[in-house]
Structure 1
Amino acid sequence: MNAETAPATAPGPSAAAGRPPVRAATSADAGAITRMRSAYVLSAPLTDDWLRLSTDELAPRLTPQGDARAFVVDAPDGTMAACALGLISPVLPAPAYPRGRAARVQIAATRPEFRRRGYARAVVTALLDHLADVEDVTLFELHTSPEAAPLYRELGFNGNPALMRMTRHRQPADTGAVPRAQPVSTWVPPQVYADSLPRAAAYVCLYVTDEDDRPLQLHSVYSPGHPWHMIGGAMDLGERPWDAVVRECGEETGMTAVGPPRLLATVFGVPRAQRPYSTLQLIFDGGRLTAEQIRGITLNPREHDEVRVLSLAEWEALMPARDFVRLRAVEEARRTGVAAYIDTWGNA
C-alpha cells in the first residue's frame, strides 16, 4: 500500500465540499481498481493478460453476494484518483472477534498527483466503517509500508513484533531435463524477500559521564531486571539512530544531545522465550557533563526516578552481571577509541 508522500499538483474534486467525495465501488470499477493495484501496490506491473484476469476475477466479487468491498474517490475527469479494497473471509470465532468474520485491506492506493489530500484516509476509513457497521466484521488485517504505517496506527491498527508473516509459493515441478551444477538465482518481490529476513528490535543508548569519567545512569521504574539504564530506548519505525538518540535524550532527561554522532558499541541480543526476536543496540558517546548540567537533568517520572554518577566499581555492585559487562565494554571503548562489539546480551 502506498504512502501519500508526493506533492499535489492538480485540482481535486473535493475543493467545493471540503472533504473527499467517497463512493462505494461496483463491479464496473473492477478494471480501474486492478490497474491501481498494478501501478501503485505491486512490486512489478501486471501484464495485459494478468490485468484482464484480475479484472474478471474481481468484478463478480464486488457485488452484494461477493466477498469484496471497495470505496473510491473519482478524479475530475472521471478516472479513479484513489481506492481501498477489502476482502471478507470467515474465521473461527474467538473472544476478540466473536462474529467469526475477518477482513483484509488488500489495496489502498492513490495516484501520485492526488496525494497529500486525505484521499487514502478517506477511502480506508469508509471501507473500515462499512465492514464494521454493515458487514459485521470484527477482525481487520493488513500489510503496510513503513511510510503508510502511521495512518493505520491512527485508525486503530497495531503491530505485534512477536508475530512473523510467512509466505509459501508452490514451485513448478522440476522436469529434470537440464541438470544444473549450481543453483540459479531467481528474482523475488521485495516484500517477499523482506518477509524472509530475521526480525530484530533496534535500540539506541547515550553513554554519558561526569568530568571525572564516572558513568551516569538512570534508575528504571518499570524494569526490575535491568534497574539501571543508560539514556536511550527503542527506535521508532522509520527513525534514524541518531535522531532516536536526540529524541530519547530530550524525553528522559530534558537535555539536548549534541553531535556529531560517535558510535562506541554495537550490542546484539539473542531471542528469548518472552522476547521472540533479536535486539540490536547502538551506543553513542554523549560526552562529559559538568556538575551543574547533571543537577539540571529533569527525569520523566513514568520511566525513571533517580540519576546517579558512580565509579565502575560502585556500578558493578548495583547491576546484573550482563548489564555491567556492557557498561564496562562501553567505558573501555571510549577510553581506547576502539568500538566494542557484544553478541551475548540477554544470554544469561
Structure 2
Amino acid sequence: MNADTAPTGTGTDTAILPAVATAEPQAATGRFPVRAAAPADAEGIIRMRSEHVLSAPLSEEWIRRCADELAPRLTPAGDARAFVVDAPDGTVAACALGLIHAVLPAPAYPRGLAARVHVVATHPDFRRRGYARAVVSTLLDHLADVEHVTLFELHAGVEAEPLYRELGFTGSPALMRMTRPAAPAAASGTADSPAWLPPEQYAETVLKATAFACLYFTDEDDRPLQLHSVYSPAHPWQLVGGTMDKGERPWETAVRECREETGLTVSGPPRLLATVYGLPGAEWPYSTIGMVFDGGRLTAAQIRGIALNPQEHDEVRVLSLAEWKALMPPRDFTRLGAVEEARRTGEAAYFGAWDWGND
C-alpha cells in the first residue's frame, strides 16, 4: 500500500521528513499544537497533498472532488482519521491522514483492522520543527488506542525511512509495516467489545427498508377518496401515492405520484397525517416505512377531472368510512381509519402493523 508523502525531487512520492527533527516551536503546554482533523479540514488536507506531495498539482476541480470525498470520511462514522498542526494564518502547516480498512483477522490483528498512512505533508515554511513527527505519532496512537487498529502500512521516501523505523515500521520503503499488539480488553474478543467496521461493511448489517409516500384526499363532505388497483388484488383500494425514487424526499414522492396517478398537482405545505411501518414477510423481503400527507378536500369538479393511469388504476371512488369497510381487507381498512382520525383530530397517527403477508 502506498502513502502519499512529500516529494523529494526524484519524481516519486517520498517524504521530506528529517531523520532528526528539532523540537521547536512548541505550544505553551510544552506539547506540539496537534489537533484532530474535522470534515471542514478536508480541503486543507487535499491542498497539502496537491501542493507538497503529488508530483503534479491537482486542478481546482479535482481538489473540490477530493475534498468532497474526504469530508464525510473524517466523521466518526467514516474510515478516515487525520491530525493537523495549524499555521498562524489558519491554513494547515502539517498533516497526517490514515485510512482504516478491514483485513482478515490474525493473531497479530484479531479485530481484522488495518490502517494505511495515506498522506504525510509539512508546508516548507514549517519544516524541521518536529511537526511531521508529531502528527504521525498522534495519528498512530489514535488508530491503535481508540480505533483498535493493530496493523499499519505505508510507503516512505528514503529521507523519511529513518523516522518510520524509529516509530516501529519495518520493511523496504516501498512497503513498510508495523503491528502493535492489541490491549488485553481489545484482544479478548468479548461480546461487549464492539468492532469498528468500514461504512460499506457496516451498511450490510443494518436494517433495509423501502419507503413510500401517499396523499389522503376527501371530498367536501370528508369522505375518503381511493383508487382501484389493477395489479394488486391483495390491496384493491389504495391511497394516491407510491414508492420513493432515489434522491427523493417523502413529500416530493407524494407530489410526483399524485401527478402521475391522477393528473392533480398539489402545492402544500406538507402536513403529515400518519407514519406507517411494516415488517418484511413472504410478499416482500424488506421492511416498509411510509408517510401519509393530507391532500385536502377536492370539489366534485376536481374529482370528475381526475385522469387515471390505466397501468395502475381503473376506478376512482369516494365513499363514507362505513362503506369502505365492506370493500377492503381488515388491515387496509384499519390503516384508512387511522388516517381519517388523524385528519379529524389533528393528531398524527402511527400505524406500525403494515406487515407483509401477515393478513
TM-score normalised by L of structure 1:
0.51
Q: How big is each residue's C-alpha offset from its partner over 1:8-57, in whole Å with a ceiling of 9 and x where there is no partner?
A: xxxxxxxxxxxxxxxxxxxxxxxxxx9xxxxxxxxxxx7349xxxxxxxx
The yes-or-no answer on 1:252 pairing with 2:261 is yes
CA distance in 2, matches of 1:168, 1:281: 38
Which of 328, 339, 346 is 1:337 aligned to? 346
The yes-or-no answer on 1:178 pairing with 2:184 is yes
Match of 2:224 in 1: 215
CA distance in 2, matches of 1:112, 1:305: 53
How far is 1:198 from its partner? 0.8
CA distance in 2, matches of 1:206, 1:185: 42
CA distance in 1, matches of 2:103, 2:320: 54
CA-based RMSD of the aligned residues comes to: 3.3
Q: How big is each residue's C-alpha offset from its partner over 1:122-147, in whole Å with a ceiling of 9 and x where there is no partner?
A: xxxxxxxxxxxxxxxxxxxxxxxxxx
Q: How big is each residue's C-alpha offset from its partner over 1:153-177, in whole Å with a ceiling of 9 and x where there is no partner?
A: xxxxxxxxxxxxxx99537338896
How far is 1:275 from its partner? 1.0
Alignment of 1:82-121 (within 5 A): 111=62
Letter in 1 for 2:290: Q
Alignment of 1:303-314 (within 5 A): 303-314=312-323
How far is 1:191 from its partner? 2.1
CA distance in 1, matches of 2:281, 2:352: 14
CA distance in 1, matches of 2:104, 2:273: 43
**What secondary structure, in the 3-state scheme, does the structure 2 residue paired with 1:344 have?**
coil
How far is 1:80 from its partner? 12
CA distance in 2, matches of 1:176, 1:114: 36
How many residue pairs get aligned? The number is 199
CA distance in 2, matches of 1:112, 1:321: 57
Contact 1:258 1:286 (8 Å CA) reproduced: no
Alignment of 1:51-200 (within 5 A): 111=62, 170=105, 172-173=109-110, 178-179=184-185, 183=192, 187-200=196-209
Letter in 1 for 2:197: V
Match of 1:47 in 2: 3
- Larger-gyration structure (1/2): 2
TM-score normalised by L of structure 2:
0.50
Which runs of no fewer than 5 residues in structure 2 stay unpaired? 6-54, 67-101, 112-180
Which runs of no fewer than 5 residues in structure 1 stay unpaired? 1-33, 35-45, 50-77, 82-109, 116-166
Match of 1:227 in 2: 236
How far is 1:189 from its partner? 2.5
CA distance in 2, matches of 1:304, 1:194: 36
CA distance in 1, matches of 2:204, 2:282: 21
How far is 1:293 from its partner? 0.7
Identical residues among aligned pairs (%): 59
Which of 291, 302, 305 is 1:282 aligned to? 291
